[in-house]
Amino acid sequence: MADPDLALEFEVNPAELDGCGQSAQHVAGLVPDETSKITDPCDQAAAGLQGWLTASAVRDCGANWKALLDRLGGDMGDVGGKLASSAGYYRQVEQDIQASMGSPSAPVPHEPDPFGTTVPEPAQFTGAEPTGAKAAG
């Protein structure tokens, strides 16, 4: 049976991830100023309903909506921060991988190669035919 994970493709674009994170943080920063506008109309409506049971319900509804939206804004800011941090992490990992691949001081495993692998030096082209080669004819 084929491995279903082999068909999965996962790609991350750190610039897009960072942009989404910053956008989420920006919107989250706007939420408290906007939610503060909810309670005043509700309080005014409740004041016009003095003596009615619905007055406290209207006031509580506005306060609860504000609290809920403020919490949502806080969550959005937290997630935005995590997205931006993830983008930075992906960038750093890519830089670390690139640096280790091009660095002769990259760490060498401490365990011996169980297969005894040897890598020959690359052959140098001298322009002469290799020994034992037959001329085409």
Q: 14-65: per-residue pLDDT in tens?
A: 999 999 999 999 999 999 999 989 989 998 999 999 889 899 999 999 999 9
pTM of the predicted protein model: 0.61
Rounded CA gap, 41 and 47, in Å?
10
Q: Work out the pLDDT band at 99, boundaries 50, 70, 90.
A: confident
Residue 39 burial class via C-beta count within 10 angstroms: exposed 0-12, middle 13-18, buried 19 and up: middle
- Give the pair of three-digit tokens for residue 115: 């297969």
- Tell me the longest C-alpha to C-alpha distance in the chain: 114
Domains of the chain: 12-102 (1.10.287)
**Where is average pLDDT lowest: 86-90, 94-98, 124-128, 133-137?**
133-137
